[in-house]
A and B are shown apart, each in its own frame.
Chain A
Amino acid sequence: MKNLNMSQLFEKLNDVKSLFIYGQKIIPVLQSLVDFMQETVPLLENINHSIADSTSKIPRATDQINNVTNATELATTEILDLVDVISNNLSTIDNSLKDITEKEKIKSSVIEKLKALLPDNAEAMQLFQEYKDNDVTISQIEKLSEVFPKIQNDTYNITLSLQVQDITSQQLAAVNHLIESVQTKLASLIHDIDDTNLKEVQSSENYSTPEGATFDPNASYDKSGDRQDMIDEIIQSENQKASQDEIDKLFS
């Protein structure tokens, strides 16, 4: 019986010995784990601060994007106002030139009548000729009038090009929306890491995209007309579908 107890005791001692050997082996691993943790904690704190810093800067970035949108909107409106004024002035000049052309035609006719009345007066004929040589001809005025439709067309093109502002403002609004989503995610991440930084982020949450702002994230500045052609095709096919439905209904 004693022999059995001793054998069990040695067995247990062997187990304890194995445990010590294992412990000796694992201690350096644990030590390096602790070292790693000690090195990682400041790194994590750094990351945390960087996230908090970036998050606090996001409102300023979105503010700046909004400022850009407002500035371009104002500038575009001002340019369009000027285009409007130019267009109106052109229209006034065009109308005046048409009046002048009519009056020039009348004047030419009067001169011809006067010439017919004084065929033998050499001095009068010379004066008529001098007048004719220095007169602004109708064709010259008509040449000027021909320029107006071209200028009008150019103002149309300016109008078309200025619409880039609306498209870019929608794209910027989409970027703002994306930035705000990132800010929200970062704020929740900071909250998970360290509660104390949350206040800093929340204080900068006053900023947001103007309330109710709407945008098309896929807005693109495409002047080719291809997208309009595609839309026209869809509408046309829809209309055909509708009329086919009506025909079917009639005969059902």
Chain B
Amino acid sequence: MSNNAFWIILQKLRAPLLVIIITYSIAILGMVLIPGMDDNGKVYHLSFFDAFYFVSYMASTIGFGEAPYTFTYAQRLWVTLCIYITVVGWFYGIGALVTAVTDKTLKFEMMRNRFRKKVREIRDDFVIILGYTYVNLEIIKKFHASNIKVVLIDEDEEKISHFLLEEASQDVPVMVGNALLTETLEDAGILLSNCKAIVSLFKNEENNLRIAILTKFLNSKVKVIAKSTYKDITVSLLDTDIAKAVNPFEIFTKRVDIALESPHILVLENWIYENSDLMDKAMFLPKGKYIVCGYGRFGKLLHDMFEKHNLESVFIDEKRIASVEMIESRKFIRANPDDRETLLNAGVKEAVGLIVGTQNDIDNLSIIITAKKLNPNIYLIARENTMQEVSIFQAAKIDWLFMFEKILINKTSLALTRPLKHRFLKLILKKDEEWGKKLVRLLRVNIGTNPIITSLKINENDSYAIYHEILDGQNVPVDVLLRSLSNWQENNKIVPLLIHRANEEILIPKNRDLKIGDEILFACDKKGKEEIELIASNIYELYYAMYGQEKESPILKKLLG
């Protein structure tokens, strides 16, 4: 039976209903049996209706008085007894009803019904987000910005109440529930065909794995974005085939890696994430000795990365311990990094860079200040943990500030909202400095410092004209889309970045013929974006862009003969 709330009420009311029925019937039967006396002194019996009428207003304490005639003492004795049993039964019933309505399980069932209904009313694609955190809130905002619907689940009722106060909570179905249960996921619509992905960024990473496995069995068409910083969990996650593992530690280490070798790629990455414009001066990270505060999972990744570059590095951590080898070669110091002596001991004076990655913002700031005093030229990379200390971090003049939460937000939302952009980013991360420098220059010369990114899909809806041209057997090279509609021999400010088709990915395509189903990513300015859309969908504009002549309207042609 689907309507659980109704059954919960009924079941809770079983005992009080029985009490009311039994007390009423005893009272009514007694009233009918006990003889009364009418105005003329004749003996008379109340009918069942009289008795029911009297007991009804007696039990509910309305009390209209003795009817139809004044009672005899025998009747009054019985009524006295009845008052106590029926009134108590009645109050018990009302009390039980109120308790049942305010009951937690009932409230939960009602909320759940509302939630299920709201989720099933969503017509567009949507994403399930598990847990309400700062990171997930930012992700929800980004989804809203690109018109993707969101469903939120959290175990904590208080957190849900907090979320409902946020502006972003409009139109978001929310439910209090344990996301690790199949039932909850089904309520959240995981079986629906328009559920596209599920975001699971729990701190407890085993939960993320569990979600991925559950999802695989429930609906393997749903993508899972899961946070995972442990190696074995990542491996198991990827084994499910549907999960994408996001490891913020690894992403940031990769960035440092790129910054050491090919800073222009990093410039491109920041531009793609919309963190900054395309800067001209891409700086190499200084090469030399690095000091890293904190040797957890993040520190270990940094260690491997520095080894790869043959750079000297010293790690300082108070709580964790490294291998004997590292301690003996003085690459690890077990001490409080927030200490002048320790930093001197680690060689802060001859170091070129300092990475502060502890989980305490105040510690991080304090280490930075001490280090800066000891070595004013040192390159500072600092981790920021909460949003509360933003202004202080800005005042501390840190060369490179990072926040794992922001990395998670950017990565997750880019992968889900702009998959083509995400694909492009993945491809360029493998390229070298020379390639990056060339592309940055190309973009800056052709478009400007802040090109916008737009994409086009070759299908009947998004690019009507090109779609039919290709169906007719014509070759449409990608360069046609670059041409200016005021003069076809000139190009707009557009650079095609990527063509993605079934088994092929072409970076910076030139003179390639388009195929049906292609997805193309462009960097361009505003005018360029408008004209790409015009050429793609309007047959007259496409004809002009291809041949430099006005296409004759087929209808006019017929009419004019």
Q: Do A and B bind each other?
A: no
Which residues of A are interface residues toward B (Cβ below 8 A)?
none
Which residues of B are interface residues toward A (Cβ below 8 A)?
none
